[in-house]
Amino acid sequence: MTNTSPQRVAIVTGGARGIGAAITTALAKSGVHVAAGYSSNAAAAEELAGKLGAEGCSVSVHQGNVGVPEDCERVVQEVLDSHGRVDILVNNAGITVDKTMRRMSVEDWHAVLRINLSGAFYMSKSVLEQMIANKFGRIVNISSVVGQMGNIGQVNYAASKSGLFGFTQSLARETANKGITVNCVAPGYIETEMVAAVPEAAMEKILARIPVGRLGQAHEIARAVQFLVDDDAGFITGSVISVNGGMDM
Ligand code: NDP
C-alpha cells in the first residue's frame, strides 16, 4: 500500500534531552519533521538537531517555557509558519521539585504544576484549532508511574502527573470525533539526568520495586510514543500505556 499522507510535523516539548531527545530521534528517523522545544539548554538542542540533520532527518529547535502561555503560542506559530501544520504534539517537558509536604512551599507546588500540567494545557490549546481544521491530530502526554502510585517527597509532581490522566481523558472525549487522539505514556524509572539526581540509597530501594530489575531506557519510552502517534493508531484514545518494568501491575 502506498503511503499518501503528508510528511507529519511534530512538536516535542523538552525534546532535546533525556526522554524527549529519544522521542525526537525516533520520530525524526521515521520521517516526521520534529520541532524540538527547550527552555534553557540551547547547546543540547543545537547539538541534537545538528546530529540528526547530518543523518538526513528534519529537525528544528524552538526556545520557550511551557509554563508561559505566550511562549507556547509563539512556538506553535513558529512551526506553523515554517511547516504549515502541527500533526503531533508530545507534552514531554517536566520538572521535579522534591520535598516532603511539610517542607514544600506554595511556590514549589505551583512551579511543578505550572510546567508539568498547565504546560500540557497551554501547548494543547495552542495546537488544537488547526488540528481540528485538519481533521487529524495526535497528542501524547508524558505522565509517570508516580502519577499512578504516588511517591514520598513528590506530592506536587504526583498531582501534576495524575492530573494528566484526567486531562487526557477529557480532551480525548472532546476530540474523538475530530480525527484527534489524546493518550498518555506513563514511564517508570528511566535512566536520564532527572533520575541520576536520585541518591544512591533511594535508587537501591527503587530497583528492588521494579520486577524487570533495571531502570528503563529512554528509547523504550520513545517506542511507545511512536506507536501512539502513528497514522494507524486512530482507534486508540484516552489510554495510558505504562512503560515501567512491571512496577505497577
Ligand atoms: P530531563 O530533566 O532529562 O529533561 C527535561 C526536559 O524538559 C529538558 O529538555 C528541559 O529543557 C525541558 N524543560 C524543563 N522545564 C521546561 C520548561 N519550563 N519549558 C520547556 N521545557 C522545559 O527529564 P526526563 O527526560 O527524565 O523527563 C522527561 C519527561 O518524562 C518529564 O515529563 C518527566 O516527568 C517524565 N518522566 C521521567 C521519568 C524518568 O525516570 N526520567 C519517569 C517518569 C516520567 P532544557 O533542555 O532546556 O533544560
Cell 474523538, located at residue:
176
Q: Evaluate whether 20 touches 65 at the Cβ level (below 8 Å).
A: no
Q: Residue 4 has what pLDDT?
A: 56
Mutation to probe ligand 1, out of 116, 123, 143, 192 (largest number of atoms < 8 A from CB):
192
CA of 21 to the centre of ligand 1 (A): 10
Q: Residue 178 has what pLDDT?
A: 98
Show pLDDT as tens, one digit a residue, over the chain (249 residues). 444 567 999 999 999 999 999 999 999 999 999 999 999 999 999 999 999 999 999 999 999 999 999 999 999 999 999 999 999 999 999 999 999 999 999 999 999 999 999 999 999 999 999 999 999 999 999 999 999 999 999 999 999 999 999 999 999 999 999 999 999 999 999 998 878 888 889 899 989 999 999 999 999 999 999 999 999 999 999 999 999 999 999
Over the range 116-140, which residues count as b (16 or more CB within 10 Å of their CB) and which as e? bbbbbbbbbebbbebbeebebbbbb
Q: Evaluate whether 128 touches 87 at the Cβ level (below 8 Å).
A: no
